[in-house]
Structure 1
């Protein structure tokens, strides 16, 4: 549980960072929905759905990490989390953005870990976090390009890799899904094209999301038809990058697409007996 004297760091789509005292956040009953976090930020912050990209308490353990920020159009930046302590009420610009871009993904990281970044075209870039690929930068810097994007392509996921036995979960807009062993993607250098990791069954389909894939976890998927479903991660087949993705989450109406994918449960389950695997190409 957070201590009332600790700070809560909040980052918005506009690339701005704000801190709030935990003690200043109104208490609420367990059954209450509470108030939107954006309502506690300065009036200059638009009260729009999805404005807050990430928020977390600045504990001593958290402050030992770096913060990696990634924009929708692929700009990436690494900053020590200690830079965000004791901000003024007006906040600060954590990442300068080009017109038409927005801050989309936030993750913690330490040197010598890895990042996996996915594009809507189904490509995946995996690279080590070090001073060559991703040097520490000042708070006002824009950051370099994480990988090259094709026309109308955008970033759809960013995952911190701490264990090379990990998988990532990839889902297309039309509802096709697979778990991909991260070692099936070659370790490259930031700024490249990455590797095609998802083969689409439908020409009009595109990757909607890539998230972490913990054993025993559960995801919540919502669609453009206002439907939602909870799906165990282990029920989705594990496949290599060259295997056509045939598994579909269910029947989709004409024009219905996946809108959001959220990891909602992190059950620690060492048993892998329910996994469906197809790693023959690796």
Structure 2
């Protein structure tokens, strides 16, 4: 038997490796090596390790991996420029950024070629027209006292452009021959065909990607060589992995091990079981128990052959499930429809569509601010005040039967995010390439981020915006190109921007955005609305006044302006507490400082001008004020 080494890890010296293996063999740390030879030549590396009889090569190789640099781990920082900003990216995103860069480069190249061809065909077209009217052209040249007069006469009589007229004046006499005319006609036909092809490539992204693939295949054919490294998927310690094969918790062999059958030396009750397997389990084919196992973490481990090793009860401390979670509730397979409810106190829970739409369902004092139709196996996106985005796995959201009041959203996120504040939660739209996320900070900076940046969230989350001067995220919303973005401050100033590439160019996650609105002292942003030009927005004041404004009545502004004062207060102490979209028959929930709750149909607020102070929508006590306004609740479909 022999082990033959034909390649080495990055930056590993062959001579040092051979010396290390020889030292281990001589010192007795590695047994079973009979001979060690270096047979490397100009064709490649070849180190031969001859083994003694009865030596297991797999065990020896495992020991060599552990004791020598034959196997080596090293970190790689994938740092690349994206939109002019240096960013660290995972391998997949790095490749995607490269493809996006190649697509952009190809687009610019085709645009340049199209511009060159259009300029050339413009001149050729002028020459051909001059040849068609050669007698009149010669007559103008004979009669003109100078070139400027001839040029002006060409433009007046034949409608030539400046460039065409100059080209005709500079045309040599050989252009008048029949052969030159044929060459010009052939060139005109070729340019016309080329322009049509370039316009097709620039107007149809599928055709552009086909051209990109063809170019990449050509590069591969010219410069490609055999791959020397392999990318393999190896589960690492501490990472989550699926337990395979699936474990049926109702039919597990629970025979206790001899060690588990012995009584504890410190226990006085020798009849108490020291292993959970010694106690009969209730058979339940479908329990709501996760099949995800964190290696080296849980007290119970699932082996690769499907068997389960249970730890003694005395060892199960922080890893045990809450008592409520141990109810025998049937598991929900992936694809099962559910409704996710988000509450005003920051909690979240899930329930079945039947429970959600039940006529006899009783509601407590909680305010449901948002509902989402989803399914088991899906996830939602959570944006936090620090500007980070995380995945909220729907299956991790507690069922209403187990946690009637739900759990805090942050409790379902990684530990690093559990002290943060949730700004928004949403499901990603299907047309990610056409949607943008609007991010608005407390200090008035705004950013238009492609929604595709949220498509690949990791467990550690990703930062969606770079803050300046101790800023924080305040509001988020989705917007299409051309949508109207409306901002409001507590003093009643309102600013309207249009979501387009001129005013708000799309930027990457590392960008800080632009100043959308100047925030004055003793005021703050209170709302962000995304609407059409004819849609209304709702303004609510702290003293219980409200009115609606049509978006088109708000002046369209440039980023960084002050905005327009659009609310006349009844008293000097009143302020705006919220701005939100106001579609017909929407219901808005109001909460006061005295913890009273009111519902407002947006149709009850008058549609008024900027000089109008609004109408009182709720009667408040002397010291009571509107504290919060919650957006319309989205109803789930049955």
TM superposition score normalised by structure 2: 0.39
C-alpha spacing 1:83/1:232, structure 2 compared with 1 (3 Å):
same
Question: Whole-Å Cα distance in 2 between the matches of residues 100 and 249 of structure 1?
Answer: 37
What's the C-alpha RMSD, in Å, of the aligned pairs? Answer: 2.1
**1:136 pairs with 503, 506, 515, which one?**
506
- Encode CA deviations 1:142-171: one digit per residue, 9 max, x unaligned: 111111121122111110013x22111001
Structure 1: gaps (5+ residues): 268-282
Q: Which residue of 2 aligns with 1:147?
A: 517
Q: Which residue of 1 aligns with 2:486?
A: 116
Q: Which residue of 2 aligns with 1:278?
A: none
Q: Does 1:248 align with 2:620?
A: no
**1:201 pairs with 570, 580, 583, which one?**
570
Q: Which residue of 2 aligns with 1:166?
A: 535
**1:37 pairs with 406, 409, 430, which one?**
409
TM superposition score normalised by structure 1: 0.86
Question: Whole-Å Cα distance in 1 between the matches of residues 418 and 608 of structure 2?
Answer: 41
Question: How much has 1:62 moved relative to structure 2?
Answer: 5.4
Question: Whole-Å Cα distance in 2 between the matches of residues 45 and 31 of structure 1?
Answer: 21
Q: Give the secondary-structure state (helix, strand or coil) at the position aligned to 1:198.
A: coil
Question: How much has 1:261 moved relative to structure 2?
Answer: 0.5
Q: Give the secondary-structure state (helix, strand or coil) at the position aligned to 1:2.
A: strand
Q: Does 1:53 align with 2:423?
A: yes
Structure 2: gaps (5+ residues): 1-372
Question: Whole-Å Cα distance in 1 between the matches of residues 398 and 422 of structure 2?
Answer: 18
**1:85 pairs with 455, 460, 476, which one?**
455
- Encode CA deviations 1:116-141: one digit per residue, 9 max, x unaligned: 11111101111111112111111021
Question: Whole-Å Cα distance in 2 between the matches of residues 185 and 71 of structure 1?
Answer: 21
Q: Give the secondary-structure state (helix, strand or coil) at the position aligned to 1:82.
A: helix
Q: Give the secondary-structure state (helix, strand or coil) at the position aligned to 1:38.
A: helix
Q: Give the secondary-structure state (helix, strand or coil) at the position aligned to 1:183.
A: helix
Q: Which residue of 2 aligns with 1:272?
A: none
Q: Does 1:235 align with 2:235?
A: no
Question: How much has 1:100 moved relative to structure 2?
Answer: 4.5
**1:180 pairs with 549, 552, 557, which one?**
549
**2:581 pairs with 212, 234, 252, which one?**
212
Moved over 4 A (4+): none
- Encode CA deviations 1:66-102: one digit per residue, 9 max, x unaligned: 1101012211111111111222211111122245432
Aligned length: 263
Q: Does 1:258 align with 2:630?
A: no
Question: How much has 1:201 moved relative to structure 2?
Answer: 1.2
Contact between 1:217 and 1:232, CA under 8 Å: does it hold in 2? yes
In terms of fraction of residues, the more helix-rich structure is 2
Contact between 2:606 and 2:614, CA under 8 Å: does it hold in 1? no
C-alpha spacing 1:225/1:99, structure 2 compared with 1 (3 Å):
farther
C-alpha spacing 1:264/1:130, structure 2 compared with 1 (3 Å):
closer
C-alpha spacing 1:63/1:21, structure 2 compared with 1 (3 Å):
farther
Question: Whole-Å Cα distance in 1 between the matches of residues 403 and 584 of structure 2?
Answer: 30
Which is bigger in relative contact order (C-alpha 8 A, separation at least 6)? 1
- Highest Rg: 1 or 2? 2
Contact between 1:216 and 1:266, CA under 8 Å: does it hold in 2? no
Q: Give the secondary-structure state (helix, strand or coil) at the position aligned to 1:168.
A: strand
Q: Which residue of 2 aligns with 1:126?
A: 496
Contact between 1:10 and 1:54, CA under 8 Å: does it hold in 2? yes
Q: Which residue of 2 aligns with 1:10?
A: 382
In terms of fraction of residues, the more strand-rich structure is 1
Contact between 1:171 and 1:209, CA under 8 Å: does it hold in 2? yes
Question: Whole-Å Cα distance in 2 between the matches of residues 85 and 263 of structure 1?
Answer: 25
Question: Whole-Å Cα distance in 1 between the matches of residues 422 and 466 of structure 2?
Answer: 16
- Encode CA deviations 1:153-198: one digit per residue, 9 max, x unaligned: 2111110013x22111001111111111112112122211111111
Contact between 2:488 and 2:495, CA under 8 Å: does it hold in 1? yes
Question: How much has 1:103 moved relative to structure 2?
Answer: 1.0
